[in-house]
Amino acid sequence: MFGLSFVGAACAQHEGPAGDQGSGAGHEQVEKFNAGKMILEHIADEHGWHLWGHTSIPLPVILYDSERGLKVFSSARFEHGHASHDGYALSEGGEVIAVGANGLEDEAATDRIWDISITKNVVSLFVSVVLLLLIFGSIARSYSRRTGQAPKGLQNLLEPIILFVRDDVAKSAIGKKKYERFMPFLLTVFFFIFLNNLLGLVPIFPGGANLTGNIAITFILACFTFVIVTLNGNAHYWRHILAMPGVPVWVLVILTPVEILGMFLKPFVLMIRLFANMAAGHIIALSFFSLIFVFGETSAGAGYGVAIGSWAFTVFMGLLELLVAFIQAYVFTFLSAIYIGAAVEEHHEHKESIV
């Protein structure tokens, strides 16, 4: 599904920069297809939103240089990484660097740059936030207008999922007495991940961004869980972390550091699991698309032959990614609820669960 935008980008790379065609010498300079580079560019963040071929939506580049002050300009000035502007350029990894008069990177000047640009992932983040506000604002108004009536429309579509998060995630992991105050967070994180997973499968703007496959995003989501667990941990929870009851003192010397380390490992696992699964799904599908161009460089027949299998497998992967989009949102939310439940669990509740 997201492969359509990838094909356009691959064709653009295969053609080489504008102006390389039209003469015999130009054809000799056509850039060979680099599958690894193309896949990494597709799943990474960028200072522009690629649409097709050499067409992209320019985004604002906002830099703070400790010597030159604030700089704001359009990413179109970089001409897809082929040009510099006002002493700045894009590196091969897509990062903004400072360059000298000779066009080479000035590492000292680069270290002075704070890049706070509106990138592709930032735009995707804004789009998802707006969509969530519109969707759940509409559902909230529907509930207020239709109190006591059967749900309909969008309310009817999402109510089973909301009830699923409440009954099978929050209540089962946190408990019936304490789950309600954590529902806003659990519902928000579930639908945020689920929506962005789905948007990542849409091949046209504003879809196609790999937001949940960006480790910075999953890191922040995991930090939210860590902060909520830490702030809501009761005396029973901290007693088991710092000095587990009934354990000899000499064992605590080993066990307590392990328990403290576990506090940080839990959100770390949340971060890595979501990032790795979403990024891997894109990489696998795009790898099969790359086979079309890799074999196409050997002969047209080989390219067309591989294309049939690649398209079929990518369609299968797209359907599988729909399931993965829901599963990963569920797993992140459920594990967060389990960690919260362990932090707020009372001593008598713990004894009953053991029995």
Q: What is the model's pTM?
A: 0.82
pLDDT at 25: 44
Q: Are 127 and 206 in contact (CB under 8 A)?
A: yes
- State what percent of residues in the chain have pLDDT above 70: 83
**Span of 40-54, 64-78, 155-169, 322-336 with lowest mean pLDDT:** 40-54
Please name which of 74, 80, 77, 75 lies closest in space to residue 41, comparing C-alpha atoms: 80
Residue 354 CA to residue 317 CA, distance in Å, equals 42
CA 288 to each of CA 207, 246, 266, 291: distance values in angstroms, whole numbers, following the listed order: 21, 56, 34, 5
Which residues share a beta bridge with 61?
Answer: 73
CA 321 to each of CA 52, 306, 324, 343: distance values in angstroms, whole numbers, following the listed order: 23, 22, 5, 33
Q: Which residues contact 315 (CB under 8 A, 6 or more apart)?
A: 1
Residue 36: band (very low, low, confident or very high) from pLDDT cuts 50, 70, 90: low
pLDDT at 311: 72
pLDDT at 236: 87
pLDDT at 347: 66
Residue 17 CA to residue 29 CA, distance in Å, equals 10
Helix, strand, coil percentages for the chain (3-state, nearest 5): 65, 10, 25
Residue 128: pLDDT over 90 = yes
Residue 16 CA to residue 34 CA, distance in Å, equals 11
Omega prior to 151 cis, within 30 of 0? no
Instruction: Dig out the tokens for 215 from the structure.
Output: 């480790």
Residue 232: pLDDT over 70 = yes
